[in-house]
Amino acid sequence: MAKCHPNEVGSLVIDHRSTHAAGFRLWSLFSTAAFRRRLIDTVRCGGGFSASEDDDNFEALPPKPSGKPQKKSEVRKEKDPSRSGSEKLSDLLNLSSDSSSTLKENDNESDDVEVMKKMERFDKLSRTARMLQSESVEERENGTKLVRQLAKEDSEARNTLAMLGAIPPLVAMVDDDSEIQTPCRVEALYALLNLGIGNDLNKAAIVQTGAVHKMLKLIQSSNGFPEAAVSEAIVANFLALSALDLNKPIIGSSGAIPFLVKILRNVDKKYGPQAKQESMRALYNLSILPSNIPLILETDLVSFLMNSLGDMEISERILSILSNIVSIPEGRKAVSAVRDAFPILIDVLNWADSPGCQEKASYILMVMAHKAYGDRQAMIEAGIVSALLELTLIGSTLAQKRASRILECLRVEKGKQVSDCYSGSVSAAVSAPICGSSSSAANLEELTMSVEKKAVKRLVQQSLQNNMRRIVKRANLPQDFVPSEHLKSLTATSTSKSLPF
């Protein structure tokens, strides 16, 4: 007997009849129309002939007898696999549509939640701004604390509070004529400071509202010495507001520079190190504008800065301020007028562990050497050549370039000086030329060149000897260390080619 698979096209039944000798009878189980329908449904649903079993074992099963004939619809339900496939496909489509609709609903819900949060936040900021404009002093104080808290780390809150009009009430609270007490006035100052963090529009609005003049008025009403908390808050505001170029001329001309210098000097030790650092940074911001430098020179800031060099915490910032000051002639005169100004700056060139200070000090010396003859002479007398030679060897790339520029200026100046010293005596000796004036002129040129070469040779020997002493000192060698004869011969035979020009 042959078994028939459910996906096979038709069923064959082989019936053995014992009455006929070795006779077989073959007939089809389905009619022609049923066969065609089965074939179409099989192809539509991906069915096919299964050949997993061997053909020799194929047996046909006779149809099961039933009491009553099956209806066509029932037969179709049992035999038609396309219905189950289409049902699965429709289920998948329904599932995907349900999931997409669920995702859309979740997105809509999250958007609604986000909108609600923004509305609640805006309502809170609006209430805070209204509190600042209240007639109740207590409510204004509470509003000031909220503004300081909300604007500390939230940039959107800074923009929103400024648009809601929070800046003018806070500036009014800084005024000494108001009935606000000192603790709340400090809160208002720090609230303004937080509103200006990273927001140039707010910084400009604070200055345009008159905050700088009210701060200075607050200082003057305290005889120039307000409470430490108020002074530190004002310094912090000046630092933040001076970072904007638009505010630099307003702050500089308002009279804030003497107050900042007073905080920096800290004669009575009343202020902490943070206030000192912030005042110096504010002065640096103001010194960037050339029109503020004459106002700085009216104070004793330059001498204080020169004498403060050596403190590694503030030295680089000091040199940055001096770099701005020497950009105008009055500033260069003020720096050169300080006692031991050039020895102090030359000593900074030897700070190998602070390349930033070396670069800034070399810039100051380069500008002054390029602009003034008297400064070049003072540098040579202070022994700048050896420090510059050492800097061209072990300094940073920028420091090496600036040191070479200074050496070039000094070389030109040294040549002029030697020429001026000997031109008078030589001209006097040859004032009455004899016959053969061409030979006399040649002798004069040879004499002049030999003197210049001797001066350069002497300068190189002095520099090399100074460098050797520095190397010996740094190497912790015995003080009675004597250079070898070979080194002496090198220094004695060196020429101007050893200079890094």
Q: What was the pLDDT predicted at 187?
A: 93
Counting residues of the chain whose pLDDT is more than 70, the rounded percentage is: 61
Q: Is 41 helix (H, G, I), strand (E, B) or coil?
A: helix
CA distance 459 to 449: 15
Tokens of residue 271, six digits: 């202020």
- Confidence tier at 474 by pLDDT (50, 70, 90): low
448-481 burial: b if 16+ Cβ within 10 Å, else e: eeeeeeebbbebbeebbebbeeeeeeeeeeeeee
What is the structure's pLDDT at 373? 81
- Is the pLDDT score of 139 beyond 70? yes
Q: What is the pLDDT of residue 45?
A: 54
Closest CA to 158 of 127, 124, 192, 189: 192
Q: How confident is the model at residue 175 (pLDDT cuts 50, 70, 90)?
A: confident
Task: Identify which of 176-185, 361-370, 374-383 has the greatest average pLDDT.
Answer: 361-370
Rounded Cα gap, residues 293 and 326, in angstroms:
9
The stretch 224-233 carries a mean pLDDT of 82
pLDDT at 55: 43
pLDDT at 188: 94
Beta bridge partners of 13: 27
Average pLDDT over residues 319-342: 94
Two tokens at 39? 């074939």
The confidence score (pLDDT) of residue 355 equals: 92
Distance between CA 104 and CA 111 in Å, rounded? 10
DSSP string, 246-310: GGHHHHHHTTHHHHHHHHHH-TT--S-HHHHHHHHHHHHHHHTSGGGHHHHHTTTHHHHHHHHTT
Tokens (6 digits) for 255: 């009279």
pLDDT of residue 410: 87
Q: Is 285 exposed, middle or buried (0-12, 13-18, 19+ CB in 10 A)?
A: buried
The whole-number average pLDDT for the span 343-365 is: 93
| pLDDT for the residue numbered 183 | 87
Among the listed ranges 166-175, 328-337, 424-433, 483-492, which one has the minimum average pLDDT value?
Answer: 424-433
Q: How far is CA 423 from the centre of its chain?
A: 57
Q: What is the pLDDT of residue 491?
A: 45
The chain-wide mean pLDDT, for the chain, equals 75
* Tokens 């050169």 sit on residue: 336
Q: What band does 293 get if pLDDT is binned at 50, 70 and 90?
A: very high
Residue 110: the pLDDT is 73
Is the pTM higher than 0.85? The answer reads no
pLDDT of residue 454: 59
The backbone torsions φ and ψ at residue 24, rounded to the nearest 5 degrees and listed phi first, read -120, 145
The pLDDT value recorded for residue 364 is 96
| More confident call, 237 vs 438 | 237
pLDDT at 137 over 60: yes
pLDDT for residue 9: 40
- pLDDT at position 271 is 85
How confident is residue 99, by pLDDT bands cut at 50, 70 and 90? low
Write down the pLDDT at residue 223: 64
User: In this predicted structure, what is the pLDDT of residue 473?
Assistant: 67
Per-residue pLDDT for 181 more than 80?
yes
User: What pLDDT sits at residue 61?
Assistant: 45
| Tokens read off for 375 | 């400064």
- Higher pLDDT: 250 or 17? It is 250
Cβ neighbour number for residue 305 with a 10 Å cutoff = 24
Rounded Cα–Cα distance for residues 495 and 156 (Å)? 68
Q: How far apart are CA 362 and CA 400, in angstroms?
A: 9
Amino acid at 30: F
* Range among 60-64, 72-76, 164-168 with highest mean pLDDT value: 164-168
- Pick the closest to residue 421 from 457, 451, 379 (CA basis): 451
63 vs 275 pLDDT, higher one: 275
Higher-confidence position of 334 and 313? 334
* Per-residue pLDDT at 448 exceeds 90: no
Q: pLDDT tens digits for 28-41?
A: 444 555 656 665 66
